[in-house]
A and B are shown apart, each in its own frame.
Chain A
Amino acid sequence: MTRDVTLEQMQHWLLHYADQIEQEQATLTRLDAAIGDADHGVNMQHGAEKMRAKINDLTDCHDIDVFLRTIAMTLISSIGGAAGPLYGVFFLRASKEAGPGDVISLDRLAQMFQVGLESIQQRGHARLGDKTMVDALAPAVEALRLATDAGQSTTEALAVASEAAEAGMLATIDMEAKKGRASYLGPRSIGHQDPGATSAYLLVASAAATLGN
């Protein structure tokens, strides 16, 4: 059982994520229309289009850190809103953690998710329970770490991380938003699933679908 993750798998991961975003664009937008400003689906789709084009252009890239850094800059300059910088810093920080080379260990991948989450929280100042993307990512990061330390395979570890992200996403329905545009509604934000947590869940679900072996 190998627990390594390759650059090629990472490329598949983010192409898969771009497909997921495009498939679910209308749902993301409708979730955002309910409690935000109805732009999350459109903006993420724009980022997904640019990301796919960039990945297809990057044929001579051999290092995971260069690849993830390029993804980060592409997302920062194409998504806009809060999601652009937040997904951008996630990949920027993850790229530094990954370092050069075309393969990393599962342990390193778990660490990348951890520091990526931390950078999102540093920039966005959101905590668990604020009804944001953190509510999907934080449980996933924790589950990934526990499964990795327990010696599970990449496939198994990412599967539990994806389940944790999904549960975290669904838990945002009952939360009152404390950050982002939904927070302007105060208690009226309760009863709606957070669009940022939803796109963050898709990121983890795509990882589970592509990075295993």
Chain B
Amino acid sequence: MIAPANHRPADYSPKTALQKKLINRPRDVVTESLEGLALAYPNLLNIAYAPPVVWRKDAPVKGKVALISGSGSGHEPLNTGYVGRGMLDAACPGGLFTSPTPDQYVAAMHAVEGGAGALFITKNYTGGLLNMGMAKEMAEDEGFRVQTVLVNDDVAQNDPENRRAMGATVLVEKIAGAAAEESRPLDHVAAIAQQVADQARSMGLALTGCTSPRIGYPTFELPADEFELGVGIHGERGRQRRMLASADAMTEMMLEPIIQDLGLTEGDNVLALVSGLGATPLQELFIVFRHLHHSLAQRGIPVIRQLVGNYITSLDMAGCTITLLKLTPELTRLWDAPVHTAALHW
């Protein structure tokens, strides 16, 4: 007995243990999903499985800084959906909600490095940092040049060192990807990535937990009239449980701390990302975006660029995250630059 009876997690009933998902064997979910991705984008992506790496078909691009992003699976389209011209050169998909291993980064380096070094984009999680740190040491031992950028945009955490990465990850990858495509040197690309990370903040809420296929029951269950405020993207509970309110009121609960933390003032231009967590209809996301747009306009903070949809998810969790990025003319221009990936293209 490795946990005392009164602290042993409750056994789940067979009813809730029967998950309703379009899967074969739970242990094959990540691999089979990657196989499907490869078949869906034959002209865009190369995919290897041992270790798992997804990289753009035209890599290595000579003289271009390579952007490599690692992340657990279960956040699709992050990051595999962002591999392609104008964004990532390679993504290293880990297990479900599990950061990838160092050998995945090193394999990605060999596949995509074009002689100008690489930028590793890392989300601020203990495992992500540890594995990426080891990967950087291993790649540098092989003579590669590597810089890193840390994304930590979640204002639900009071301690900035402990802030999780959320939607800003997508914005960093898009904007740094555009800078790399302009053949800028590694220092510049890293500086722009850092600027985006520094000027973006996020907050999320959950209406339900999520069910990892390897586990088969939800990470938490909520009464019908409550929601979790300040959640991350790994099915964990939020900072607080609150009574359900209107979409406008719940949007305001996410928006206010972001505005305060970013120190946004009248006249600032922002990019807004409203991302579903996996099981929320677009219809509801647009209702959230509607209020967010109005509320910011009333404060004299116009939303001049936006993205609404499922861009960084947490399996089948219902709810959403909001991300605001304080724009500059250069960041806006790089955001507008062409991108050709599975999930973003213009």
* Residues of A that sit less than 8 Å from B by CB: 24, 27, 29-31, 33-39, 42-43, 46, 76-86, 88, 123-124, 169-170, 173, 179-181, 183-186, 188, 191-193, 198, 201-202
Q: How large is the interface on B (under 10, 10 to 19, 20 to 34, 35 or more residues)?
A: 35 or more
Residue numbers in B under 8 Å from A84 (CB-CB): 101, 127, 130-131
Of the listed residues A82, A85, A185, the one surrounded by the most CB atoms of chain B closer than 10 A to its CB is A85
Instruction: Give Cα A39 to B156, complex, Å.
Output: 22
CB-CB contacts of B65-97 with A at 8 A, as 1s and 0s?
000000010000000000000000000001111
Query: Which residue in B96, B101, B130, B219 is a CB contact (below 8 Å) of A33?
Result: B219
Cβ–Cβ contact B130 & A82, under 8 A: yes
Q: Do the beta carbons of A39 and B96 come within 8 Å of each other?
A: yes
Determine how close the nearest CB of chain A comes to the CB of B41; give it in whole angstroms: 25
Closest to A79 in B: B101
Residues A37 and B97 in contact in the complex (CB < 8 Å), given A27-B3, A31-B3, A77-B102: yes
B212–A39 touching, CB < 8 Å:
yes
CA distance in complex: A201, B103 (Å): 28
A184 near B7 with CB under 8 A, answer no
Looking at chain B's contact residues, the main secondary structure is loop
Contact partners of A188 in chain B: CB under 8 A: 237, 239
Q: Are A43 and B4 in contact (CB under 8 A)?
A: no
Inter-chain contact B236/A185, CB cutoff 8 Å: yes
Interface residues of B (CB under 8 A from A): 2-4, 7-9, 51, 72, 94-103, 125-127, 130-131, 133-134, 156-157, 162, 164, 212, 214-215, 217, 219, 232, 234-237, 239
In the bound complex, do residue B8 and residue A80 qualify as a contact, i.e. CB atoms below 8 Å apart? no
Chain A residues with CB under 8 A of B234: 36-37, 181
A81 in contact with B127 given A36-B236, A184-B232 (CB within 8 Å): yes
The answer to whether B2 and A39 touch across the interface, beta carbons within 8 angstroms, is no
CA distance A29 to B125 in the complex (A): 19
Contact of B95 among A27, A80, A201, A202 (CB under 8 A): A80
Residues of A contacting B126 in the complex (Cβ-Cβ under 8 angstroms): 82, 124, 179-181
* A27 CB contact (under 8 Å) in B2, B51, B97, B214: B2
The closest CB in chain A to the CB of B129 belongs to A82
Q: A184-B157, A185-B236 are in contact. Are A39 and B3 (CB under 8 A)?
A: no
What are 12 A-B pairs at a CB distance below 8 A?
A36-B234, A38-B212, A38-B215, A39-B97, A76-B102, A78-B101, A82-B125, A86-B130, A124-B126, A183-B162, A184-B164, A184-B232
Tell me whether B98 and A43 are in contact (CB under 8 A): yes
The 4 closest A-B pairs by CB, nearest first: A30-B9, A82-B127, A85-B130, A37-B234
- Determine whether the beta carbon of A192 is less than 8 Å from that of B215: no
Residue of A nearest to B100 (CB): A80
Report how far A181 CA is from B238 CA in the complex, Å: 11
Complex CA distance for A186 and B231, rounded to whole angstroms: 12
Measured CB to CB, the closest approach of chain B to A163, in angstroms, equals 14
Distance in Å: Cβ of B152 to nearest Cβ of chain A: 12
CA distance A169 to B271 in the complex (A): 46
**A181/B236 contact (C-beta < 8 A), A29-B215, A80-B100, A84-B131 known:** yes
